[in-house]
Structure 1
Amino acid sequence: MREELRIMVPRSLFGPEHEEFRNTLRRFFADEVMPHHAAWEAQGYVDRKLWNRAGEMGLLCMAIPEEYGGLGADRLFSIVLMEEKAYLGATATTFEIHSDVIANYIFHFGTEAQKLHWLPKMASGVAVGAVAMTEPSGGSDLQAIKTRAVVDGDEYVLNGSKIFITNGHHGDIFVVVARTGDSGEGKRDISLILVEGDRAGFTKGKPLQKVGMKGQDTCELFFENVRLPRSNLLGGVEGKGFMQLMQELAWERLMVAIGAIAGARMALDVTLEYTRNRKVFGKSVDSYQNSRFKLAEMKSEIAIGQVFVDRCIELALARQLAPEASAAAKYWTTDLHCKVVDQCLQLHGGYGYMMEYPIAHAFIDSRASRIYLGTNEIMKEVIARTL
C-alpha cells in the first residue's frame, strides 16, 4: 500500500478527476516508461518516440489553453504527473520541465505569434522545449551571464555557451538567457531569446555523464555567431528577461519540492516492505526498536513536509506564493528527501547498495535536487534577506 494512502494528514487538494488521471499515469509509466528506463540510462536520453506518445495521450502542456494546443486543464493535473514520476523514480522523463517551465515562459511572456507557432508543437510532442540558463563559468548568478546577443540590422548575433541543459539533446526550441545590453545594472541587460535547435552555428554536446539521473537528457550548448530574427526576442522587448525569470522561479522551485516529497514517500514505502520481509537473527528488521523509531521519524517528517508543500501549491494556484516560501519548500524538502533515502538505504543493509533495488537508484538520483534551480545555500540566502 502506498504511504500516501495512509498519510497522517489526509490531503484535500485533488478531486476524483485528478485521482482518475493518477491511475492513467501509473499505467502509462508502467507500460511506456519503466520497461525502457535502464536502456535510456545507458544511452543518456529517452527515445524520441516517448515524446510523441506523451503528446498523443495529452500529457504535455496540459495547463496551456486549448487555443494554443493544450488541454486548458488546471495545474493540479501537472502536479499529479510530477508526483507520479517522482514516486516511480522515472528520472529519465522531463515532461514537467517542457510543459510547466518552458511552455510557461512562452505562454506568459511570448508574443501572440510566438505562442501560436510553438505551443501547439510542444503540446503534441512534435517540438521539445528547453531553457538555457547556466553557464560553465557560473550557475546561480544569472546577472553575471556572458552569453551575448548583439543587434545586427534586423537580426541578433548570439555567442556563448550553456551547460547542464535538460532536454538539450532532443531540444527543438530553447529559451536562452542572454545579455542584450551594457547598462551596467545587471538585471536590466538580460533578455530571453527563442533559439531553434537547427540554427546554423548552434551545436549541442554529447549527453553529459552524471552521477545520477543518468537517463535524463542533459548536455552542453554552444552558440557561435548564431543569427536570429529580432522577432525571436521573447515578448518583443529587451531587458525583461530577469523579471520574466523571477516571476516563474517560485513555481519552478516548488516543482522541485513536489517531486522531493513524492520521492521521499517512495523511499519510505519500499523500505517498509523490505524491513517487514527481511529477517535478522530470526526477526524481521522492522521489529527492532531502532528500525521502528527511524521509520516513525521519517513518516512524521514526510507528513509535515507534505502539509507545507500542499499549502504552497494552494498559494501558487492563486499566484500568491512568495519567493521565500518556495525557497524554504525547495531546500527543506530536498534535504529531507536525501536524508530519508540515506536512512532507508541503511535499513536495507548491503542490498541497499545494489542497483537492482529501487532505493539504490533513489540514492544516486536524489542528490542533484539540492543543487539545481538554485543550490540550497542560495535558498537560505533568499530566506535570510527577508529576516
Structure 2
Amino acid sequence: MIRDQETLNSLLDTVGRFVRERLVPREQEVAENDRIPDEIVQEMKELGLFGLSIPEEHGGLGLTMEEEALVAFELGHTSPAFRSIMGTNNGIGSQGIIMDGTDEQKERYLPRMATGEIIGSFALTEPDVGSDAGSVKTSAVRDGDEYIINGTKRYITNAPYASVFTLMARTNPEEKGAAGVSAFLVDANTPGISLGKPDKKMGQSGSHTCDVIFEDARVPASALIGGKEGQGFKTAMKVLDRGRLHISAVCVGVAERLIDEALRFATERKQFGKHLSEHQLIQAMLADSKAEAFAGRSMVMEAARKKDNGERVSTEASCCKLFCAEMVGRVADRAVQIHGGAGYISEYPVERFYRDVRLFRLYEGTSQIQQIVIARNMAKELQE
C-alpha cells in the first residue's frame, strides 16, 4: 500500500541514482577486493537504507511491503553484495524484534539498526541444520537470571562485523521439535563468542559469512525475544513472508539489470553481417527473459499488496520466491549465452552475476522448501 506517491517517487529516484552513479561503478572493485568501501556504507546509512522496514517511531522509514518491494527492484540493479550489508537490518535481523520483541528490546536495538550504527545478523543455520530449522542443536540452558549458550552456527551472513545476533537455540532439550527452540538477542562482544574464518564463496564477493561459535556464552534472561521460551521458531516463520518477498523483488531487479546488459551487447555486437539482436534465436532469449522478469515483478507486487491489506500471503510469498529465484538463474544463463565467449570473461558483469544469483535459490528457504510450503498450504486450504 503506497501511502504517499510523491514521497515514494522521490525515494525511488534517489535510490535509483545512487545505484547507477555510486554502486554500479564500484562493482568490479568490490568483487576484486571482497569488500564494500567504508564511504559507500556511510552513504547507505545517510540515505536511510539500513532502516527501510523499521517503523518510523524507531527511526526507520517504515515502508509498507509494496514500497519496500519497489525499492528492492532498484537495489537489484547492482551487485547483491551491496544489499546484503543492510539486508539483515531490514529483514530477519530486525523483523523478529519488531513483531515479537519487548518494548525494552525495541528501544535498545531498533533505532541503532535503523541508522546502521549496529549491524544485525541472523544465526539459525548449523553444521547439521539448514532447511530443517526445527532441529536446532545449539543449547541455551537457564542458570538463574542468565542463559548459558553452547553451539556452532554456520554460513551466518554479516557475522564478521555484526553487533548483535538474533540467535535460535534450544531451551527445552526434552522437546526435539520446533517447540523447543527460542530466539535470543545476543551482543557480539559477549564473552564466549568466537568467529570462524570467512567462507570462500562461489559469488557475492563483498558479502561475508562465517561460523559463529558459542562456548559457555552467558546472556541475561532479558535477551530472550518477547520474554517467552519456545517461541523462536514461530518468530522466524513470521518474518519469512516479508523476507521472501524482499528477496523475490531483488531477484527481479537483478534480472532486469541482466536483460539490460544482454540487450546492450546484442545491439552493439555484429555476427554474420548483422547485429546479434536481429537474429531470431537471440531475440527469443531476450523475449523470454523480458516476459519472465515481468511475470516476477507482477507476482511480487500482487503479493505485497495483499500483505499490506492484512491478508495471509504465505503461499504467495513462497510462490514468488520459488519463481523469481529460479527465473533470475535462467535469465543469467541466457545473458551469458548472448554474450558468447565474452560472457565467460570477468570483464563483463554478466559473468559475475551468473555466479552471484545462484545463492538466491538457496537462502531464505531453498526452492525445494518453497515447493513443500506451497503444496502443504494448498492441502490445508482444501481442508478448510
Does residue 1:316 correspond to 2:303, yes or no? no
- The correspondence of residues 249-260 of structure 1 with structure 2, limited to 5 A, is 249-260=240-251
Does residue 1:226 correspond to 2:217, yes or no? yes
- Give the partner amino acid of 1:164: Y
Cα deviation for residue 175 of structure 1 reads 0.3
Instruction: Indicate if the aligned counterparts of 1:52 and 1:124 stay in contact, CA closer than 8 A.
Output: no
Does residue 1:355 correspond to 2:311, yes or no? no
Cα deviation for residue 31 of structure 1 reads 4.8
Cα deviation for residue 105 of structure 1 reads 1.2
Cα distance change of structure 1 residues 284 and 13 upon mapping to structure 2, 3 Å threshold: farther
Describe the superposition over 1:64-119 as per-residue Cα deviations: whole angstroms up to 9, x where unpaired. Answer: 23332223443444323322221122424322321233121112111111111111
- Give the partner amino acid of 2:211: E
- Give the partner amino acid of 1:28: F
| Unaligned 5+ runs, structure 2 | 380-384
- What secondary structure is seen at the aligned counterpart in 2 of 1:290? helix
- What secondary structure is seen at the aligned counterpart in 1 of 2:160? coil
Cα distance change of structure 1 residues 170 and 37 upon mapping to structure 2, 3 Å threshold: farther
- What secondary structure is seen at the aligned counterpart in 2 of 1:352? helix
Instruction: Indicate if the aligned counterparts of 2:68 and 2:246 stay in contact, CA closer than 8 A.
Output: no
- The correspondence of residues 172-211 of structure 1 with structure 2, limited to 5 A, is 172-184=163-175, 186-211=177-202
Does residue 1:21 correspond to 2:7, yes or no? no
Cα distance change of structure 1 residues 216 and 347 upon mapping to structure 2, 3 Å threshold: same
Give the whole-Å Cα distance in 2 for the aligned partners of 1:321 and 1:45: 38
Cα deviation for residue 14 of structure 1 reads 8.8
Instruction: Indicate if the aligned counterparts of 1:155 and 1:227 stay in contact, CA closer than 8 A.
Output: yes
Describe the superposition over 1:225-277 as per-residue Cα deviations: whole angstroms up to 9, x where unpaired. Answer: 10000000011111111111111112211122111111111111111111011
What residue number does 2:70 align with? 80
- The correspondence of residues 296-315 of structure 1 with structure 2, limited to 5 A, is 296-315=287-306
- Give the partner amino acid of 1:70: G
Cα deviation for residue 158 of structure 1 reads 0.4
- What secondary structure is seen at the aligned counterpart in 2 of 1:71? coil
Aligned-pair Cα RMSD in Å: 2.0
- The correspondence of residues 1-387 of structure 1 with structure 2, limited to 5 A, is 15-48=5-38, 50-94=40-84, 95-184=86-175, 186-385=177-376, 386-387=378-379
Cα distance change of structure 1 residues 110 and 87 upon mapping to structure 2, 3 Å threshold: same
Give the whole-Å Cα distance in 2 for the aligned partners of 1:336 and 1:206: 33
- What secondary structure is seen at the aligned counterpart in 2 of 1:158? strand
Cα distance change of structure 1 residues 181 and 253 upon mapping to structure 2, 3 Å threshold: same
Cα deviation for residue 320 of structure 1 reads 1.8
Instruction: Indicate if the aligned counterparts of 1:161 and 1:222 stay in contact, CA closer than 8 A.
Output: yes
| Unaligned 5+ runs, structure 1 | 1-11
- Give the partner amino acid of 2:19: F
Give the whole-Å Cα distance in 2 for the aligned partners of 1:50 and 1:172: 19
TM-score for both structures, normalised by structure 2: 0.92
Describe the superposition over 1:201-224 as per-residue Cα deviations: whole angstroms up to 9, x where unpaired. Answer: 101123211001111121111111
- What secondary structure is seen at the aligned counterpart in 1 of 2:229? coil
- Give structure 1 regions of 4+ aligned residues with deviation exceeding 6 angstroms: none
- What secondary structure is seen at the aligned counterpart in 2 of 1:296? helix
Instruction: Indicate if the aligned counterparts of 2:151 and 2:214 stay in contact, CA closer than 8 A.
Output: yes
Describe the superposition over 1:258-312 as per-residue Cα deviations: whole angstroms up to 9, x where unpaired. Answer: 1111111111111111101100021101111111122222222222222112101
Cα distance change of structure 1 residues 327 and 71 upon mapping to structure 2, 3 Å threshold: closer
Cα distance change of structure 1 residues 79 and 248 upon mapping to structure 2, 3 Å threshold: same
Cα distance change of structure 1 residues 293 and 137 upon mapping to structure 2, 3 Å threshold: same
Cα deviation for residue 40 of structure 1 reads 3.5
Give the whole-Å Cα distance in 2 for the aligned partners of 1:269 and 1:41: 20
Cα distance change of structure 1 residues 266 and 13 upon mapping to structure 2, 3 Å threshold: farther
Give the whole-Å Cα distance in 2 for the aligned partners of 1:274 and 1:166: 34
Give the whole-Å Cα distance in 1 for the aligned partners of 2:148 and 2:35: 30
- What secondary structure is seen at the aligned counterpart in 1 of 2:50? coil
Give the whole-Å Cα distance in 2 for the aligned partners of 1:211 and 1:242: 29
Cα distance change of structure 1 residues 73 and 381 upon mapping to structure 2, 3 Å threshold: closer
Cα deviation for residue 18 of structure 1 reads 2.2
- Give the partner amino acid of 1:208: D
Give the whole-Å Cα distance in 2 for the aligned partners of 1:347 and 1:66: 45
Give the whole-Å Cα distance in 2 for the aligned partners of 1:21 and 1:34: 18
Cα distance change of structure 1 residues 198 and 208 upon mapping to structure 2, 3 Å threshold: same
